[in-house]
Amino acid sequence: MQKFKGEIALITATLIWGATFTIIKTALHDASPLVFISLRFTFAALILLPFLFKVLKNITKPVLLGGILLGLFYFLGFSTQTIGLNYTSATKSGFITGSFVIFTPLLQIIIQRKLPSKGSVAGIILSVAGLILLSSTGTSILSVFSEIGEGFNIGDFFTLLCAFFFSLYVVYLDMISKKYDYKPLVFLQIAVTGVCGVIAAFVLAFFGLETPHLEITANLIFAVGYTSILATIVTTIIMTKYQKLILPARAGIIYALEPIFSAIVAFFVLREKISNFGLIGGALIFSGLLVSELIDNKREQTV
């Protein structure tokens, strides 16, 4: 029951994230990437502070260090994703971000010395196949595979870095959240990301690598509000509190559902097309989660 509760919670977080690709893509017309990151996470931290002030007064050094480490991975993941979105489509960003379903079990083996379960391996294979098809605009199997790597740009590269950093985050969150109370960890992750965003914005501006841009519009206010409250506070609480109930590899399979929700929102809002193979890919990703669940449950019942 605890594992089931954790899976439902992570699926909910993934649903919320699904809309962020399109929302942030449109918001980047009004704010440069790191300015947006700074606004999003600083606002979220300020909202949380009054509610967690008493908890933070009694924070210990191990919790502080654990929260800072998670916050750094969080910042690296979100910043590279947001920068990447400035140069690639929302659908493609969702696909490449979803590739961390591959990185997560590999890092789990290296860092935690744990092999993924048979169900997780089967689910990962189906999810990867689904991700390839979901991102395709081709009309035949040959065209699908010819598209892999085609048109790879700087935005795709940053998004691939994002997938790697999020995989690190998922593995270390599994380790750290089992040891400490989730409340201070939630605040620290968000606050560290906001502070790093502000520092990075100034540093990149100083070296001429990014021109800070901010135009207050209704669209930007909505984007900051949605991403701060739902896609940052709510999802960070969900992940920090519930991901520890399931294995990182299984969590990666659940997070691979995100590109499906991203593609659906991008289709309706940005008119980005979903091919027939894309629909099959979405079905395969869902199948990956179900197959992983069925195989592992059957194995647990026979043990």
pLDDT digits (tens, 9 = 90+) for 52-104: 999 999 899 999 999 999 999 999 999 998 888 888 876 677 778 877 888 88
For the cut 70, the answer to whether the pLDDT of residue 136 exceeds it is: no
Q: Are 87 and 256 in contact (CB under 8 A)?
A: no
The pTM score is 0.86
Question: Which residues have C-beta within 8 Å of that of residue 289, sequence separation ≥ 6?
Answer: 123, 127, 253, 254, 256, 257
In the chain, what percentage of residues exceed pLDDT 70?
A: 90
Residue 151: predicted pLDDT: 60
Q: In angstroms, rounded to a whole number, what is the distance separating the alpha carbons of residues 266 and 284?
A: 20
Q: Which of the pair, 176 or 133, is modelled with greater confidence? A: 176
pLDDT digits (tens, 9 = 90+) for 235-292: 999 999 999 998 888 888 888 888 778 778 777 877 777 777 777 888 888 888 788 8
The string of DSSP letters for 240-287 reads HHHGGGS-HHHHHHHHTTHHHHHHHHHHHHT-----HHHHHHHHHHHH
Q: Tokens 């689910």 appear where? A: 123
Choice among 147-156, 196-205, 220-229 with the minimum mean pLDDT? 147-156
Model confidence at 144, pLDDT cuts 50, 70, 90, reads: low
Q: In angstroms, rounded to a whole number, what is the distance separating the alpha carbons of residues 193 and 187?
A: 10
- Cα dihedral 251→253→255→260 (10° resolution): -160
Q: In angstroms, rounded to a whole number, what is the distance separating the alpha carbons of residues 190 and 92?
A: 26
Residue 135 gets which letter from DSSP? T
Residue 31 tokens read as 């704010």
What average pLDDT does the structure give for the chain? 86
Q: Where are the domains of the chain?
A: 2-302
Q: Are 24 and 85 in contact (CB under 8 A)?
A: yes
| Region of residue 235 (left: phi > 0; alpha: psi -120 to 50; beta: else) | alpha
Residue 123 tokens read as 């689910």
Q: Are 251 and 104 in contact (CB under 8 A)?
A: yes
